[in-house]
Amino acid sequence: MHCSKVLRAQLSQTVYHTKKAFDKRLDSVPTTAFHYYYQTKIKEMQTYSGPSSSRDQLNFAHYNNGFKRYIRKEWSLLSGTRRRLYYAFFFHFTKIDHTTLNECELARIMEISTPAISEYMLFRNKYKSKFDTIWSEQEATVQRKKTPGTRRNAKISDESMKVTLSNTQRDHLLSLSVDNTRDDIKNLTKRFREMCRECRTAWETCISDGRKLEIKKKWQEQKRRFELQLQYERRILDYNLNKLSQIDFRCNSLCVELPVTHTLVDTKSMDVLRLASHKKK
């Protein structure tokens, strides 16, 4: 009896158009303080579990949205003091100098909401929420006007085709789903352009100068509070980082693996290709 040496593999549908995009996919350095906290929780799970179950737990953490929501809720329930400690851990182990970051970059890492860039953008953000609500209600009205039972019949036909579909038919359905996705993107683009056009018209014709002045004062107050909050966070961050630098603090679950990406065509493989081409000549 001979064992078959058949490699059952399937090509991934993920497409990388540039080497930079591929290297970024391999980069596991967290981009925000919450991502850093999420990675520490995964490492704690791997530490307390055996080597055989660590991979299963890692797959569970990456592909289970319920686990991510649980960690997100746990992060939101942390006190301000503990959260600022994780801010310090993030900058300490990633070797990022927070003094080189501007306000928006630091706020993105700490997940602090940034104010609008202008008083008009503050008005447009509120206008967009109302516009989206009205648009969704209109779409729901159009969907209700469709004949009943169409969705049910389509679902039954899909279930019956699961077994009898050939590869050509599956490719055709996949192309149809891609076309539907493109149509959705076009509809979203059209919806956003329509919102921007109507918002600009409302700002220029329906909003009085007094109302614009009130919106401007509110925007300036939001900017002032945002700047004061970041100044306070920077002072505490400097204090915590100074304390961390004075002690030899080591913990495997808190450390960050710096990016070491290996693409399919590295320097060694390039040397091999050069030698092969030289021998052919």
What pLDDT does residue 54 have? 57
Instruction: Give the mean pLDDT of the chain.
Output: 74
Amino acid of residue 263: T
CB 57 within 8 A of CB 49: yes
For residues 134-144, give the mean pLDDT: 76
**Which among 88, 87, 43 has a CA at the least distance from the CA of 61?**
43
For residues 61-67, give the mean pLDDT: 75
From residue 154, alpha-carbon distances to 145, 148, 165, 241 in Å are 17, 11, 15, 59
For residues 24-50, give the mean pLDDT: 78
Tens digit of pLDDT for each residue in 4-23?
A: 565 565 666 666 667 666 66
For residues 65-78, give the mean pLDDT: 90
**Which among 34, 224, 38, 30 has a CA at the least distance from the CA of 110?**
34
What pLDDT does residue 148 have? 57
Tens digit of pLDDT for each residue in 174-199?
A: 454 545 556 666 677 888 888 889 88
DSSP assignment of the chain: ------------S---SSHHHHHHHH----SSHHHHHHHHHHHHHHHHS-HHHHHHHHHHHHH-HHHHHHHHHHHHTS-HHHHHHHHHHHHHHHT--GGGS-HHHHHHHHTPPPPPSSHHHHHHHHHHHHHHHHHHHHHHHHHHTSPTTHHHHHHHHHHHHHHH--HHHHHHHHHHHHHHHHHHHHHHHHHHHHHHHHHHHHHHHTS-HHHHHHHHHHHHHHHHHHHHHHHHHHHHHHHHHHHHHHS----TTT---------SS-HHHHHHHHHHHHHH-
- Lowest mean per-residue pLDDT among 36-40, 170-174, 240-244: 170-174
- Lowest mean per-residue pLDDT among 99-103, 121-125, 265-269: 265-269
The number of C-alpha atoms within 13 Å of 197 and in the hemisphere containing its C-beta is: 6
From residue 62, alpha-carbon distances to 22, 47, 58, 275 in Å are 19, 17, 6, 41
The pTM (predicted TM-score) of the whole model is 0.65
For residues 16-43, give the mean pLDDT: 77
Tokens of 145: 């006007």
What pLDDT does residue 238 have? 95
CA gyration radius for the chain? Answer: 27
